[in-house]
Structure 1
Amino acid sequence: MPDLTIIVPTRGRPGNLWDLWCAFKETSTGDTVLLAAVDDDDPFLLGYEQKLDWADGDPRLQLQVGPRLRLGGTLNAFAPTVAAGSRHIGFLGDDHRPRTAGWDRLYIEALEQLGTGVVYGNDLIQGEALPTQVAMTSDIVLATGYMVPPGLVHLYADNVWLALGQALGAIRYLPDVIVEHMHPIASKALWDEGYAEANSDERSDADRAVFETWRANDLDHWVQQIKEYPRG
């Protein structure tokens, strides 16, 4: 099984996925797989399939097609199966770009040192404040059944991972590991329909409510499940 499998939910941006793949190929040195999760109703589905063909069968890039569940739903749909077949599991947006050579190996090494926990690098926007990209030990997902709280659609996933890592006492920030976030909030990309949908005031309010409810009612239970999870 791979040391690390990273899920990349993506819609309408096959060019973004290709740019991420190119950056991944240039910088990845670990036993890491990039799993692109694409909606079956994506109007650019053929473009994604073409990008996969261009990768010439490199097993480090995989494409999975399924129903549209938005970012949170997609992560939760794929994460249990991925976690069962990979020592560690992670998330990258299709607008993240690894810049540091060996970034994934450094993530894996940090997770091995933690035993159970969460690691993230410097996205050059949020830095230590939020893990907009993340890797975690697979037992976290196997114990809870989720990668983010059910009902969380897009925003506040990074707040969840930060809160969970802190509650576990097992989170590590790697400031010298650059995984740049090419987000329009930092004028590194143009606003498109996907960004507008994901970052509306209504979406923010709804996802914040899911996060705050989870933090108040479920976080401690997740921590208990993770700590009690049997490890071979």
Structure 2
Amino acid sequence: MSPASPIARRRVVVTGALGGIGSAVTARLLAEGARVLAVDHPDVVRSDPGPAAPDRHVLGVDLRDPAASGEVARQAAERLGGLDGLVNNAGVELRAPISEHVDERWDAVLDVNLGAPFRLARDLADLLASGRSAAVVNVCSIAVTGFAGQIAYDASKGGLLTLTRSLAVELGPRGVRANAVCPGFIDTPMLDEGALRPIAERVARTLPLRRLGRPADVAGAVSWLLGEDAGYVTGQSLFIDGGMNRS
């Protein structure tokens, strides 16, 4: 860690922090001197709480519970002494045709991927506004462009991108920035859970960079957006996709 790290001693909540992109983000922030409240589902926390570290605090909550965001706010104030950043990374996927998107499954995806980030932004807003050049980073997806067979996931990530822009407008006057990262195919267990790996590897061969993304690729972008080097960046979406989206 450099003493001049733009995020040194910043206090950050990361959701979905114990796996895939979330664990890479948490590790990157800790390496750069941040203090992190790592939030994940209680079952995940019980099975693998991750490595112990002085500045890493772990909280198990179910983000589908409307009371969870309030608990995160309380724990951030108690364990971190305030808040300078929020990374909404927790997410679930549903790979199925539209005919199999029954209401219960649709609601579950939208609640975790969009409802929880809204509730967290709402309930942590005062803490963030009292922080140091605070920032929200929402982990969206290349899915905001729309794909077949995952309509709930795509809708949730599209909504999260628009939520990001609204947060930038609403929280900006309070000194809080809001941006989104939109990863493409990143080499995490989600590729296997959703049977996406063959598709991802085929697409990767067509990309300008000719490879799948790595969790560290996303973590670096998140760290930059949280830090003061991005102090005049808000309401933006950064695609981390190897050149898949070339707008």
More strand by share: 1
What is the TM-score normalised by the length of structure 1? 0.38
What is the TM-score normalised by the length of structure 2? 0.36
